[in-house]
Amino acid sequence: MIHINITKPLHTADGTIDLRVNKEIHKGDFLTLFGKSGSGKTTLLRIIAGLETPKSGTITVDGEVWFDSEKKINLSPQKRNVGFVFQDYALFANMSVRQNLEFALADKSKSKKVDEILEIMEIQNLSNMKPQELSGGQKQRVAVARTLMTNPKMLLLDEPLSALDSAMRLKLQDELHAIHKRFGITSILVTHDISEVFRLCNRVFKISLGEITEDSTPSKVFSNQNISGKFKIVGEVLSIKKSDILYIVEVLANNEIVKVTGVQSDIKNLNIGDKILLSSKAFNPILTKI
Amino acid sequence: MNILPANVTKITKSDSFILLELACGNSIFTSLVLESSESDEYTLGENVNILFKETEVMIATPDSKVSARNSFVCPISDIEMGVLLCNIAFDFDSYIIHAIITKNALLELECEKGESFRWFVKSNEVSIQKI
């Protein structure tokens, strides 16, 4: 159990606002921080990691005090033992994959751990390569592997997949899901990709101007429509074309393009690139064995 | 999408199915939904929206008997003609209901603006939106 009760002034393009968080995060949660740029998502991750200091408040993790402004307690990032994955990988360019992983080991005698993690992440074949020889997806897999070297209490993921193409993003989403399932590490993800939230997370904090305005499951936060349909897919609008008196909306969902019909009023406020929820009743889909 | 405000007046459950009766003005709609752990329970008196796609609405002559529970005779207020399809608007109390059917069907039924016809939609095509 993680309890965070902190404030921190945020200097944004719209002036100074206060980041105020008073929340409990449960062990094993896969939590998304969702909100516009400048709303305080990354700052909150950095505060948890110990890379930034709140103005006031407390952070306790499993009963251990990481931060207490009154008692002047502020554990260093190393002592907090969290894994932090960034969009830009932050690997050491002059070290091989194996050396990057070894570097993260607190106890160098446990080099067996390197082989174990290389195997879990299925990157044994990359172990002697340097970061510049790797693709974006491979680099991010190594960055995730490196965080696992220290058996972290928490994984903090700051838009880790946003620089990758959609096929690689889906693959790494599956891997993050598998890692979370295997190790049960409490994970906090910053992302703007709603389908990613649905694939990975059980809980979402929606942040606006430093305040958490919603705290619920992905389907409650993003389908505030709360429609009774049982067949729900989140997708992105690729195109809208008029066809006879209807409109055909092409939607990218789970890496596939689906076409859905709508009328003028359905597409009135719809733009290319918008995220949408497709829903259909449980009665409509036809089951065919393949 | 056709959207109508309504009020839950009756809830009948059988295994995984829930049959809801909903009052919209003086008309009663029924919606068959599948029980779901994630959706909140429906409560009597709750205000919701009834949703159904225009392409799920069928049309018949006023004296036809149909199995669909949501069946109403209303005057046609407008007809938009396409090449294969047409969009028929019905005056339903203070709301407009749209039905999209093939043009051939419209010609066969001889639907015309100002005349009353029966429009209907099956209970299992009606979705409920919590508000």
SS (H, E, C) A42-74: HHHHHHHHCCCCCCEEEEEECCEEEEECCCCEE
Asked whether residue A254 carries a pLDDT value surpassing 80, the answer given is no
From the list B39, B83, B86, the residue facing A228 with the nearest CB is B39
pLDDT of residue A225: 56
pLDDT above 90 as % of chain B: 82
In B, minimum Cα distance to A284 occurs at B125
CA distance linking residue A155 with residue A146, whole number of Å: 11
From the list A228, A246, A282, the residue facing B85 with the nearest CB is A246
Interior angle at CA A207, CA A82 and CA A220, nearest 5: 100
Closest CA–CA distance from residue A225 to any residue of chain B (Å): 6
Cα dihedral sign, B64-B66-B72-B77: negative
- Per the model's pLDDT, the better-predicted residue between A157 and A234 turns out to be A157
Closest CA–CA distance from residue A283 to any residue of chain B (Å): 7
Chain A interface mutation, best of B22, B37, B38, B40, highest count of A Cβ atoms under 10 Å: B38
Of A125-134, A223-232, B117-126, minimum mean pLDDT range: A223-232
pLDDT of residue A261: 92
Asked whether residue A154 carries a pLDDT value surpassing 80, the answer given is yes
Q: For residue A105, what pLDDT band results from cuts at 50, 70 and 90? A: confident
Domain count, chain B: 1
Of A228-232, A249-253, B46-50, minimum mean pLDDT range: A228-232
Asked whether residue A72 carries a pLDDT value surpassing 90, the answer given is yes
Q: Verify whether the Cβ–Cβ distance A263 to B124 is below 8 Å.
A: no
| Overall size of chain A counted in residues | 290
Q: Chain A residues within 8 A (CB-CB) of chain B?
A: 217, 219, 225-230, 244-246, 261-263, 265-266, 279, 281-284
Q: Mean pLDDT over all residues of chain A? A: 89
Q: Verify whether the Cβ–Cβ distance A228 to B33 is below 8 Å.
A: yes
Number of Cβ pairs closer than 8 Å across A and B? 59
CA distance linking residue A281 with residue A230, whole number of Å: 5
pLDDT of residue A224: 56
Chain B interface mutation, best of A222, A245, A266, A270, highest count of B Cβ atoms under 10 Å: A245
pLDDT of residue A217: 87
Question: How far is residue A244 from each of residues A57, B57, B61, B127, measured CA to CA in Å?
Answer: 61, 18, 25, 26
Task: Please give the average per-residue pLDDT across A202-206, as a whole number.
Answer: 94
Q: For residue A265, list chain B residues with Cβ-Cβ distance below 8 A.
A: 1
Closest CA–CA distance from residue B32 to any residue of chain A (Å): 9
Task: Please give the average per-residue pLDDT across B78-91, as a whole number.
Answer: 96
Task: Please give the average per-residue pLDDT across A222-237, as a whole number.
Answer: 74
Q: For residue A286, list chain B residues with Cβ-Cβ distance below 8 A.
A: none
Domain interval for residue B55: 2-130
Closest CA–CA distance from residue B15 to any residue of chain A (Å): 15
Contact yes or no for A78/A32 (Cβ under 8 A) = no
From the list B81, B100, B127, the residue facing A281 with the nearest CB is B127
CA distance linking residue A77 with residue A62, whole number of Å: 16
- Per the model's pLDDT, the better-predicted residue between A274 and A32 turns out to be A32
pLDDT of residue A62: 92
Of A67-71, A154-158, A160-164, minimum mean pLDDT range: A160-164
pLDDT digits (tens, 9 = 90+) for B6-49: 999 999 988 888 899 999 999 999 999 887 654 557 899 999 99
**Which tokens is A260 given?**
């859905």
Task: Please give the average per-residue pLDDT across B71-96, as a whole number.
Answer: 96
Residue A99, classed as helix, strand or coil, is helix
Q: For residue B131, what pLDDT band results from cuts at 50, 70 and 90? A: confident
CATH of the domain at B99: 2.40.50.100
Closest CA–CA distance from residue B57 to any residue of chain A (Å): 13
Asked whether residue A227 carries a pLDDT value surpassing 70, the answer given is no
CA distance linking residue A60 with residue A72, whole number of Å: 14
Edge-to-edge strand list for the sheet holding B95-102: B58-60, B116-121, B70-81, B85-92, B95-102
Q: For residue B100, list chain A residues with Cβ-Cβ distance below 8 A.
A: 245-246, 263
Q: For residue A202, what pLDDT band results from cuts at 50, 70 and 90? A: very high
Asked whether residue A108 carries a pLDDT value surpassing 80, the answer given is no
From the list A226, A261, A281, the residue facing B125 with the nearest CB is A281
pLDDT of residue A287: 83
